[in-house]
Amino acid sequence: MPAATLRRVVALYTPNAFREERILWRAVIQLNIVRSIHTILDALNDIRRRDVYPSSTYTSDPDSDSESENHVSLPYHLEELRRRLYPLHHVESLLIAKLVPPNEHEATTLGVGGSNSVNGNVPYYGNSYPPSSHAFRHQEVFVRPGAAWKLRTSGRPQSAGTTGQETIDESQTVLHHCCPDMIALWQDHVVRQILRRRKIRLEESPGFYLNDLNRVTSLTYFPSDDDVLRARLKTVGVSEYSFHMEAGPETGTEWRIIDVGGSRSQRPTWVPFFDDAIIFLAPISAFDQTLVEDRSINRLEDSVLLWKEVCSNKLLAKVDLVLFLNKCDILASKLKSGVRLAKYVRSFGDRPNEPEVVEKYFKSKFSAIHREHSPIPRKFYGFCTSVTDTTTTGGIIASVKDMVVREHLRASKLL
């Protein structure tokens, strides 16, 4: 089960434990904010380098509309914002040091950037960056599964407080002072045009808080349940979680959930850990996106191929599968903005470009793969869900309980 889904389960069924740990997620949310701003600044710096170094060998991002940007210069007010937001590099460095042990920096970063982006120490060359800094991109930060990173963010998590006032730190102070400039950057119409040209849709990404900057950069900010559910924190490796339900009809029941990494390199480690059920998340909103690890592979196509691989795996023949067609809220927003699914998925044909139609189409496709590729017949469990949807999570637990009970009855010859 991916970490974000696990958070939903914890929020729904162990609410007391979830609320106790909310303050520990503030560092993650802070890092998410900084990463969003740096994504914008990276796009601006690409344009700026093209203007400052017109004869350099620098090559623009393949997804950018380079023809329309060849003769673009950044307005003065954006240059000023860029300079005033430079302290965020220091904040990023502080937050990574807080979340990731020093000896694990290399092992828990992934991206296309150079080594400078691992620790946030970016060389500064007066009013500009050198052409070679095209290699610099703020790499994805991973943490090891488990509670170790939470202990690093607070020595005594049990006394983290309930208002946020007890734990004001340097990162929050800098973010608070940079808040007006971050808002100005995010709301600038030139910036929005650049992001749109480059197909950078921050609103569709997990860990997006730029529409809530006044609130989340307040010196007394304390993460809400929704803030924690939206936070982006990638895990690497495999970890087991055991907890007792505090709420609902399953109160007192102990659950054991395995959290596995989702990147392609980690997939061979999955199979030995599952003997009851697998919860499979397919982000159907990603039909027009590519993998971070391999920009030549479509994310949705990768999910379909992996689903087929899991369904057909003979070692998992007796393991029940729960499918989550995830991020349906982002899908609806994307379709409403005019993005047409048929442009990326030809088999969708001339069906209406409506969220309900698209969800039904994908559910049917994944169900057919499940039916055709399972070594032995098994029931299909499929849900359409959103990033912070805790209601549907209840359906998961009910489905998994049904699976486990049926398997025990089958094993005892009672079924």
43-58 confidence digits (pLDDT tens): 998 887 665 444 433 3
Pairing type for strands 381-384 and 320-326 reads parallel
Asked if residue 147 lies in contact with residue 173, where contact means CB atoms within 8 angstroms, the answer is no
State the distance between the two ends of the chain, measured CA to CA, in whole angstroms.
Answer: 28
Residues 6+ apart with CB under 8 A from 120: 89, 90, 92, 93, 96, 138
Residues 6+ apart with CB under 8 A from 136: 42, 113, 114, 116, 117, 122, 129
- Range 49-71 burial, b when 16+ CB lie within 10 A, else e: bbebeeeeebebbeebebeebee
Residues 6+ apart with CB under 8 A from 159: none
Q: Which of 272, 149, 172, 263 has the alpha carbon at shortest distance from 222?
A: 172
Q: Sign of the CA dihedral 333, 335, 338, 341?
A: positive
| Kind plus residue range of the DSSP H or E element containing 323 | strand 320-326
Q: What is the per-residue pLDDT for 116?
A: 34
How far, in Å, CA of 158 to CA of 24, rounded? Answer: 10
Residues 6+ apart with CB under 8 A from 69: 47, 50, 60, 194, 197
Helical spans, DSSP H, in 155-298: 170-187, 189-197, 213-216, 225-230
Q: What is the per-residue pLDDT for 123?
A: 31
How far, in Å, CA of 3 to CA of 24, rounded? Answer: 15
Question: CA separation (Å) from 295 to 63, 67, 141, 290, 308?
Answer: 10, 21, 18, 5, 21
Per-residue confidence band for 264, with pLDDT thresholds at 50, 70 and 90:
low
Which residue positions form the known binding site? 229-235, 326-329
Mean predicted confidence (pLDDT) in 244-266: 71
Give start-end residues of each CATH 3.40.50.300 domain in the chain: 3-21+235-411
Which residue positions form the known binding site for Mg(2+)? 235
Mean predicted confidence (pLDDT) in 361-371: 97
How far, in Å, CA of 11 to CA of 382, rounded? Answer: 21
Pairing type for strands 254-260 and 277-283 reads unpaired
Burial zone of 108 (CB within 10 Å; 0-12 exposed, 13-18 middle, 19+ buried): buried
3-21+235-411: what CATH class?
A: alpha beta
Mean predicted confidence (pLDDT) in 389-412: 67
Which residue positions form the known binding site for GTP? 229-235, 326-329
- Structure tokens, 290: 């590519």
Whole-number average pLDDT of the chain: 77
Per-residue confidence band for 165, with pLDDT thresholds at 50, 70 and 90:
very low
Q: Sign of the CA dihedral 27, 29, 35, 38?
A: negative
Model pLDDT for residues 271-305, shown as the tens digit of each residue: 777 777 788 889 899 999 888 777 888 999 999 99
Model pLDDT for residues 303-320, shown as the tens digit of each residue: 999 999 999 998 888 888
If one counts every other C-beta atom within 10 angstroms of the C-beta of residue 37, the result is 25
pLDDT over 90 percentage in the chain: 35
Q: Which of 334, 341, 282, 345 has the alpha carbon at shortest distance from 308?
A: 282
- Range 222-249 burial, b when 16+ CB lie within 10 A, else e: bbeeebbbbbbbbbbbbbebebebbeee
If one counts every other C-beta atom within 10 angstroms of the C-beta of residue 317, the result is 12
Q: What is the per-residue pLDDT for 107?
A: 42
Q: What is the per-residue pLDDT for 113?
A: 39
pTM: 0.75
Q: What is the per-residue pLDDT for 412?
A: 60
Model pLDDT for residues 324-335, shown as the tens digit of each residue: 898 898 899 899
